[in-house]
Structure 1
Amino acid sequence: MLADVFILLLAAHWAADYPGHTDDQARHKAEHSALGWRANLSHAATHIVLSAVLLGIGAVLTGEVTLTPGATVLALGWVGISHGFIDRRWPVDRWMSLSRQSGFKAHGGAAHVDQAAHVVLGLLPAALLLATVG
């Protein structure tokens, strides 16, 4: 079931981060203001909703995805919290500084590190939780 829920979460992530991501959210989500927090939280909520929808579709249409309410709520909460945290931008900046990636960052690398963080720190733990508890 791990592969099934991971693919569903990854598809939801891409849908939320690209076609579901407004210009306003992208522009403001890292700001230290009420507007920034609203943009960040609304973007994270998009991730939670799309993840819930795709997991639900997977559970209905396949015999491979079995969801329990508690694990699903925890996994969806983790998707939203981790996504919102990473999207504040300072965690990616801090990582790239600590790992001496200034050249990579100067050439657009932050977007790639951002996506890797979402997959490794957000989606994979959620998928593991759903696969082992769900």
Structure 2
Amino acid sequence: MFATLFVLLYVGHLLADYPFQSDHQAGHKADCGAAGWRANLTHAGTHLVTCGLMLAVGAVVLGLNVDPLPAATALLWIAATHAAIDRRWPVARWMAFARQAGWAERGGAAHVDQTAHITALFIAALALAA
């Protein structure tokens, strides 16, 4: 069940991060102030809804039995971690700590960002499958 849950959450993540993310959200989700937080939390909410819909599809189409309370907890985890990671400073701090300044200058931050998001999805799927 873990692999199925992970794939469902990953597809939800891809949908929320690419076709369902507006240019405004992408450009302002790390900004300081209310407008930045609004863009960030709207984007994180898109992840919550999209991943929730994917879990619902898994329940209806695949017959997955996912308890609503753990599912809600997993979805909140996904939204919260996504919002935190997308503030961009956690990725920048990690890359500074890992001495990856050169890679950051060549576009590596996007890869570290996605790795952090996918790790959060992995943890959510593992918790749901346990």
Identify the TM-score tier after normalising by the shorter chain.
over 0.9
Question: Which residues in structure 2 correspond to 1:76-115 (within 5 Å)?
Answer: 76-115=75-114
In the TM superposition, residue 11 of structure 1 has moved relative to its aligned partner by 0.3
Distance 1:21 1:108 in 2: 20
Cα displacement string for residues 36-75 of structure 1 (whole angstroms, at most 9, x for unaligned residues): 0000000000000000001100111113x21101100100
Counterpart for residue 117 of structure 1: 116
Letter in 2 for 1:32: C
TM-score by length of 1: 0.95
Gap regions ≥5 residues in structure 1: none
Residue 46 of structure 2 aligns with which residue? Answer: 46
Corresponding pairs, count: 130
Q: How far, CA to CA, are the matches of 1:111 and 1:10 in structure 2?
A: 16
Q: Give structure 2 stretches of 5+ with no counterpart.
A: none
Distance in 2 between the 1:74 and 1:5 partners? 14
The RMSD of aligned alpha carbons is: 0.6
Alignment of 1:6-45 (within 5 A): 6-45=6-45
Partner of 2:62: 62
Q: Percent identity?
A: 52
1:129 is displaced (CA, Å) by: 1.2
Moved over 6 A (4+): none
